[in-house]
């Protein structure tokens, strides 16, 4: 049975892609956490370290510029981490979850239609078995009546059909005066009259009941076959609709993936553009008080006459 093979393959692929998307979203969330930890570490350590290292020196102004650049870098790193989590990771996770849920809903609807088709087929087969059984019972009742008739009649070689035909015309003339040979009578009435005439009432009633059961079971079987055909058509239509829906989901997944990549790149670009990393250098004034302090801190250069 190849029904639904393509749909099952598409659904399995969608589930695999959804799991991969959720894994990527979790990875991006971890990357966002690392960005946040890095920015917090920079905020905590760099300003105090630079301030203590450059205090009272000519490079204090330069150190302040470096501190501003590092702070700008840390700010943008923090902003980038937040953007990765809110603008990339969460939409990626949500779209992956929606893909898995949508694929499962589509397949569930198709599976329900296939289950209804299977049930209608099962009911049709059950009605067919009942119909075949009623035909066998009717045939057994006719054979039983035929054997009973042969045991009662002295004439050998006559069968039930010829006897009914021989007695139908006379019974018609007796029961329905004024009608010719072409008048029609229900076969049940003819069979009942035949049973009354030959003392086979019980056998004829059994045959009538069996044939009525054949008619009822045949009608039921025909109705079940009609329902089965309708269920098959509905399942086929549902399969086509499900494949179209899976195609739509796949197109949305690709579009969301491209939008996620674009958002990630735009976020990276915006963070890099907003980083203030420009440093201005100025010549050191050796006559300044700070330069004098540096000279006073210089160690004497050893000479050749100095003792070791």
* 280 token code pair: 């201005």
Q: Give the span between the Cα atoms of 142 and 208, in whole angstroms.
A: 9
Q: Is the dihedral of CA 26, 27, 28, 30 positive or negative?
A: positive
> Token pair of 283, please?
């010549």
Report which of 106, 141, 112 is spatially closest to residue 241, judged by C-alpha positions.
106
| pLDDT tens-place string over residues 57-101 | 656 666 677 777 777 888 888 888 888 888 888 888 998 999 999
Count of other CB atoms within 10 angstroms of residue 93: 19
Share of the chain above pLDDT 90, in %: 20
Over 90: is that where the pLDDT of 225 sits? yes
Backbone angles phi, psi at 141, to 5 degrees: -65, -40
pLDDT digits (tens, 9 = 90+) for 91-117: 889 989 999 999 999 999 999 999 998
Name the residue with higher pLDDT: 135 or 204.
Answer: 135
- E strands, the chain, where? none
Hey, which of 26-35, 155-164, 278-287, 294-303 has the most confident mean pLDDT? 26-35
Q: Which residues contact 18 (CB under 8 A, 6 or more apart)?
A: 96, 97, 99, 100, 103
Confidence of residue 283 (pLDDT cuts 50, 70, 90): low
Of 260, 258, 248, nearest to 93 (Cα)?
260
pLDDT recorded at residue 34: 92
Lowest-pLDDT choice from 38-47, 105-114, 215-224, 285-294: 285-294
pLDDT mean over 32-49? 81
Mean pLDDT in residue range 215-234: 91
Output the pTM of the full model. 0.60
pLDDT, position 48: 62
Task: Summarize pLDDT for 136-164 with one digit per residue, the tens.
Answer: 888 888 888 777 777 766 544 444 455 54
Pick the closest to residue 20 from 32, 28, 9 (CA basis). 28
Q: Spell out the residues 6+ positions from residue 141 whose beta carbon is closer than 8 angstroms to its own.
A: 203, 206, 207, 209, 210
The interaxial angle of helices 5-54 and 90-152, nearest 10 deg, is: 160
């Amino acid at each position: 049975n190849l029904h639904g093979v393509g749909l099952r393959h598409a659904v399995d692929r969608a589930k695999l892609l959804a799991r991969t998307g959720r894994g990527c979203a979790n990875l991006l969330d971890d990357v966002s956490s690392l960005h946040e930890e890095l920015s917090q570490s920079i905020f905590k350590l760099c300003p105090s370290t630079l301030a203590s290292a450059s205090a009272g020196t000519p490079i204090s102004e330069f150190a302040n510029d470096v501190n501003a650049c590092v702070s700008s870098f840390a700010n943008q790193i923090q902003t980038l981490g937040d953007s990765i989590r809110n603008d990339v990771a969460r939409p990626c996770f949500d779209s992956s979850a929606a893909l898995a849920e949508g694929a499962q809903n589509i397949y569930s609807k198709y599976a329900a239609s296939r289950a209804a088709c299977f049930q209608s087929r099962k009911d049709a087969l059950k009605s067919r078995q009942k119909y075949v059984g009623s035909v066998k019972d009717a045939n057994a009742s006719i054979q039983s009546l035929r054997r009973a008739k042969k045991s009662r009649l002295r004439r050998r070689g006559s069968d039930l059909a010829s006897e009914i035909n021989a007695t139908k015309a006379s019974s018609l003339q007796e029961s329905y005066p004024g009608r010719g040979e072409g008048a029609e009578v229900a076969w049940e009435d003819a069979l009942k009259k035949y049973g009354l005439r030959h003392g086979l009432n019980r056998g004829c009633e059994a045959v009538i009941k069996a044939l009525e059961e054949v008619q009822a079971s045949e009608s039921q079987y025909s109705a079940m076959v009609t329902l089965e055909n309708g269920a098959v058509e509905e399942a086929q239509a549902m399969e086509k609709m499900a494949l179209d829906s899976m195609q739509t989901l796949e197109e949305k997944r690709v579009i969301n993936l491209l939008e996620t990549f674009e958002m990630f790149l735009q976020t990276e670009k915006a963070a890099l553009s907003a980083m203030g990393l420009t440093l201005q250098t100025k010549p050191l004034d050796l006559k300044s008080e700070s330069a004098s302090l540096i000279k006073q801190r210089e160690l004497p250069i050893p000479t050749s006459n100095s003792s070791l």
